[in-house]
Amino acid sequence: MNQARIDYSPIVDRKPFFLPEGARVAVWVIPNIEHFHFDAPGTAITSSTAHFTPDVLNYSWRDYGPRVGVWRMMDIMHKYGVKGTVTLNSEVCEHYPQIMEAGMQLEWEWMGHGETNSRMLANLSEDEERTVIRRVRDTIERVTGKRPKGWLGPALTETFHTPDILAEEGFEYVGDWVNDDQPYPIKVRNNSLYSIPYSIEMNDITAFLTMHMTPEDFYQMLVDQFDVLYEDGASTGRVMSICLHPFLIGHPFRSKSLDKALKYITGHQDVWVTTGGEIIDHYKQQFQTEQANA
């Protein structure tokens, strides 16, 4: 079957996307802050023990993130005035309250990211999925005082009903569709929903665990991505995502690559370092205004 959620839209045929104050690139940084269950498989640094229950080696490797790595990330991002847009497992609210408090002090934005990355959304019934999405939304709102605008499925998983449920439950944007340099509308049966540019490649999971990059390789990849988008953005604005996991980029020898990349990016003029919600708010304001004036 063909997908019916999005229209084919070549970027060369679109009206220009103007960013605030003449910026060429909107850069948003996405810390994936997750909770994994001790008796379930998860992201692994080695496959040698991944089939065991419990898998102490890989579980404790991931556990470096909330214990140490996220705090190093916060320091680096704050150093360059970068506010995170967190893809948040709602179980983090219960298990790591200090992270929630620190993120709120830094004025980070919170996106829904399922309840735990030990459980995906795939193969849920519509009612089951709606229940999960509502619980995630309500938990984040209760703890932070703000209803999340954005959503990223655990491992970017969806069902055929996910966009409809998200729109009906008050979410405004989703990062699962990694196919563009600009936001765009997704067809839903009620309300509205927008895709925001997220990346599976400008992503430390893919870079370090799949591509087996060095930290210096990762730095250069981020710089090259930025440079080309910055050049492209002279004619129509582009969006760059930097997708991070504290149990990877938070290690000392990798964190230097993030520090250098943010120093490079924020050292340029005409760059809007922002959050996911602000990008979508701006996109909607520009194109809804144009439609109203047409």
Neighbours of 127 (CB within 10 A): 9
pLDDT in tens, 114-162: 999 999 999 999 999 999 999 999 999 999 999 999 999 999 999 999 9
Average of per-residue pLDDT across 219-240? 98
Phi, psi of 219 (to 5 degrees): -55, -50
Mean per-residue pLDDT over the chain, rounded: 97
Which domains can be identified in the chain, with CATH numbers? 16-293 (3.20.20.370)
d(CA 14, CA 233): 13
pLDDT in tens, 153-197: 999 999 999 999 999 999 999 999 999 999 999 999 999 999 999
What is residue 116's DSSP assignment?
Answer: -
Estimate the crossing angle of helix 252-266 against helix 70-79, to 10 degrees.
20
Q: List beta partners, residue 185.
A: 194
pLDDT in tens, 51-107: 999 999 999 999 999 999 999 999 999 999 999 999 999 999 999 999 999 999 999
**124 residue type, one letter:** L
Residue 294's pLDDT band (cuts 50, 70, 90): low
d(CA 150, CA 51): 33
pLDDT of residue 46: 96
Residue 291 has pLDDT above 80, yes or no: no
- pTM, two decimal places: 0.97
Residue 289's pLDDT band (cuts 50, 70, 90): confident
d(CA 27, CA 275): 8
- Which residue do the tokens 């008050």 mark? 170
Residue 8 has pLDDT above 80, yes or no: yes
